[in-house]
Amino acid sequence: MRLTRFKAVAVAIAAAASLSACGGNAGSDEGSGVDVKVASNAADSFKDGTRMKEIAESGKITIGVKFDQPGIGFKGATDDMPKGFDPQIGKILAASLGIKPEDITWKETISDNREPFLESGEVDLVIASYSITDERRKVVGQAGPYYVTGQQLLVPKDSKIDSIDDVRGMNVCSVTGSTSLDQIEAKGAKPRGFDTYSDCVDQVLNGTVDAMTTDGAILMGYAAENPDKLKVVVPPFSEERYGVGYSKSHPEMCQWIVDTLKKAEDDGTWAKAFEATLGKSGVATPEPPAMDPCPAA
């Protein structure tokens, strides 16, 4: 019997892993995006001993992104490369090191392993809807923000919820352990954590929860898939500032990230990346946010 149980657990884990791997098929038609201009002889433009030079010389970079957030970072079961705004930012950064998009190794990072992956060098950068917080900045470096979004609500078309005060006592779902779930709990809703965003959308559709909450951009993607049944309500009630995570052992990377993204914002690459990904759900391309100065190395 113990063995059966052990097997059951093993199978459950395998099932959980495969479920999270193929959770949802939303947004799989997103274009793999804009062309980025790959810098030539990039290694020469960096000082000796910097991590950028090392990466540029090796010609390889590993970037951690989310695989389960349509519009932000999403990889379907049959996709070769993740799609979304975060991978686009990754391509822009890699291009400045002279690395072509196909030479980037994409690694799935979930909320729990972003810091350990950066610290152990498992990934060079984390671009995974990684909200900048003081707590995280104690452990890793976060450059940016390259995008600012806010939390909204996704509700059934006939829902009576039209202000954030209406969620008090309501069942609102999001992904277990996400910041969005904490925020909605603080608003007096009953937090309902699920494994993936697509599980959560199912709960809204079958009426077990009253609303779903996370960053507006993700919600719009789902609303666009089910326009007869779902709608996005409430003006954003939180501010999430997405940053690029890097290891604290390479503080010189911060200025490079900020400079590269600034250039992309100025020459329109940033806007194109947005239009090709998040902009597809009908949101107007926003002004790029002002980035924080880098901490003194």
Partner 1 sequence: MNLVFEHFDLYLRAFGWTVLLFLASALASLVIGTVLAAMRVGPVSILRAASTAYITVVRNTPLLVMFLLICVGLPTVGITFRFVEDWHLDAFYFRSCIALTLYTSTFVAEAIRSGINAVPLGQAEAARAVGLTFGGTMTQVVLPQAFRAIVPPLASVMIALLKNTSVAYVFGVVEATARMKYFTNITARDEGVFVLFALGYIVLVEMVSLGAYSLERRWKVSRA
Among 31, 121, 188, 193, binds partner 1 (CB under 8 A): 193
Residue 72, CB-side half-sphere exposure with 13 Å CA sphere:
29
12/77 with CB nearer partner 1 = 12
Binding residue for partner 1, selected from 1, 3, 284, 296, defined by CB under 8 A: 1
Q: How far is CA 277 from CA 270, 273, 282, in A?
A: 11, 6, 10
Member of 25, 32, 50, 176 binding partner 1 (CB under 8 A): 176
- CB of residue 106 vs partner 1: minimum separation in angstroms? 22
Q: 163: how many CB neighbours lie within 10 A of its CB?
A: 11
Determine, following the binding rule CB under 8 A, whether residue 182 of this chain makes contact with partner 1. yes
16 near partner 1 (CB under 8 A): yes
158 binds partner 1 per the rule CB under 8 A: no
How many angstroms separate the first and last alpha carbons of the chain?
58
DSSP 104-158: EEEEE--GGGHHHHHHHTS-SEE-SS-B--HHHHHHSEEEEEEEEE-EEEEEETT
Shortest distance, position 8 Cβ to partner 1, whole Å: 5
Among 49, 207, 227, 293, binds partner 1 (CB under 8 A): 207
What's phi and psi for 57, nearest 5 deg?
-70, -35
Residue from 151, 152, 178, 281 touching partner 1 (CB under 8 A): that is 178
Which parts of 108-127 interact with partner 1 (CB under 8 A)?
111-112, 115-116, 119
Which one of 87-95, 202-210, 249-257, 265-273 is the stretch in contact with partner 1 (CB under 8 A)?
Answer: 202-210
By the 8 A CB rule, do 217 and 282 touch?
Answer: no
Name the pairing type of β-strands 171-175 and 211-215.
parallel
Minimum CB–partner distance for residue 10 and partner 1 (Å): 9
